[in-house]
Structure 1
Amino acid sequence: MIPWRWVGIGVLVGCSVFATWKVDAWRYGKQLAEVRTEYSDYKTSVATAATDASEKARKTEQQRQRDIDQVRADAVDQKQKDDALAAEQRADNDGLRDQTRKLLADKSTLNSRLAQRGKTINDLIDLLAELRSEADGYAGELAAALTESRRAGFACESSYDAVAGQHRGGKEYTHSP
């Protein structure tokens, strides 16, 4: 009978080991299911965060592009205003040249009146009229170049501000005549 006792104890120990193994397998299965659920939730949150970040970046890029387009439109508008002003200045310059030509044409009348004073005044009048005409022409060219340079500088600054996202609080280029 002794051997049956050992067999019974062995069966009892075997059943205990099997039951312990089954309980551990059930716990590990439950833990594995929880880990899988947590991992699935993590992947979902990462995918959602990536989608949100992508959407935010897309909206930011669209806003920056709209800002750059607005800067371009403002620069084109300012260029049209500056070109109109330059055309007006050219017309004024042409008017001054016409007046100078008329004065030079009337020079013969002035010569007869100023004949008593000598020929040096006559030469001086020609020189001053020519210098004034040239100075007016150069002034117009310099003004147009300066206007173009300022407009390009402000457009560049506005583009940078639009891209950098830093608006300087209403600083705009306005041309004063």
Structure 2
Amino acid sequence: MTPWRWVGLVAVVAIACFSTWKVDAWRYGKQLADLNATHRLALADIATAATEASEKARQDEWNRQRTIDQVRADAIHQKQKDDALAAEQRADNDSLRDQTRQLLADKSVLNARLAQRGKTINDLVDLLAELRSEADGYAGELAAALAASRRAGFSCERSYDALTAYSR
């Protein structure tokens, strides 16, 4: 073979190798561009999912806080009702004590009237009146304590239920 044929053959092989290399580079570049596009879409999907999860968590927290605030408002309202009832019971107790004192003050007048009829009032009336007055006072205090305990228990229970409802 002549040297020009060798040069031509080498040139054809070199052009074929260069062409193959360029076609492969172009294919890999296209594959790389496709992978970059897929990666960007995946990152966008992850960012969207993170934003949605964050918004859902924020909404859940807002709902929990709103529920707890409602429980707190209900407890305050119930306390006001219980306090009004306790004040009414204290007023009734004070009225009853005043009536008891009036009866004890009128006891001497009644004793004189009954003595004219041959009857007497003994100290048992004094004891019973005082015991009843003290019992009414203690009952009012116990009712107020029971109402406060009941109100606190219901508030605690509603708060717990509100928090566990969102975690299910």
TM-score bracket relative to the smaller structure: 0.7 to 0.9
Q: When the two structures are aligned, how many residues end up with a matched partner?
A: 164
Partner Cα distance (2:27, 2:138) in 1: 93
Q: 1:117 Cα shift?
A: 6.6
Q: Do structure 1's residue 43 and structure 2's residue 43 form an aligned pair?
A: yes
Task: Name which of structure 1's ranges 121-130 and 109-118 shifts more when overlaid on structure 2.
Answer: 109-118
Where does structure 2 lack aligned partners over 5 or more consecutive residues?
none
Residue 142 of structure 2 is matched in structure 1 by: 142
- In structure 1, the residue corresponding to 2:28 is in which secondary structure? helix
Partner Cα distance (2:154, 2:6) in 1: 99
Partner Cα distance (2:122, 2:129) in 1: 11
Aligned partner letter, 1:122: N
Taking structure 2 as the reference length, the TM-score comes to 0.87
- In structure 2, the residue corresponding to 1:106 is in which secondary structure? helix
- In structure 2, the residue corresponding to 1:154 is in which secondary structure? helix
Task: Name which of structure 1's ranges 75-84 and 3-12 shifts more when overlaid on structure 2.
Answer: 3-12
Residue 126 of structure 2 is matched in structure 1 by: 126
Q: 1:2 Cα shift?
A: 3.7
Residue 161 of structure 2 is matched in structure 1 by: 161
Q: Do structure 1's residue 25 and structure 2's residue 33 form an aligned pair?
A: no
Task: Name which of structure 1's ranges 73-82 and 101-110 shifts more when overlaid on structure 2.
Answer: 101-110
Residue 101 of structure 1 is matched in structure 2 by: 101
- In structure 2, the residue corresponding to 1:76 is in which secondary structure? helix
Partner Cα distance (1:122, 1:142) in 2: 31
Task: Name which of structure 1's ranges 75-84 and 32-41 shifts more when overlaid on structure 2.
Answer: 75-84
Q: Percent identity?
A: 70
Partner Cα distance (1:16, 1:123) in 2: 132
Q: 1:12 Cα shift?
A: 2.1
Deviations 1:118-173 (A, max 9, x none): 7xx6222221111111111000000000001111111122222223336xxxxxxx
Where does structure 1 lack aligned partners over 5 or more consecutive residues?
167-177
Taking structure 1 as the reference length, the TM-score comes to 0.83
Q: 1:106 Cα shift?
A: 2.0
Aligned partner letter, 2:123: D
- Larger % of helix: which? 2
Partner Cα distance (1:137, 1:85) in 2: 14
Partner Cα distance (2:17, 2:115) in 1: 137
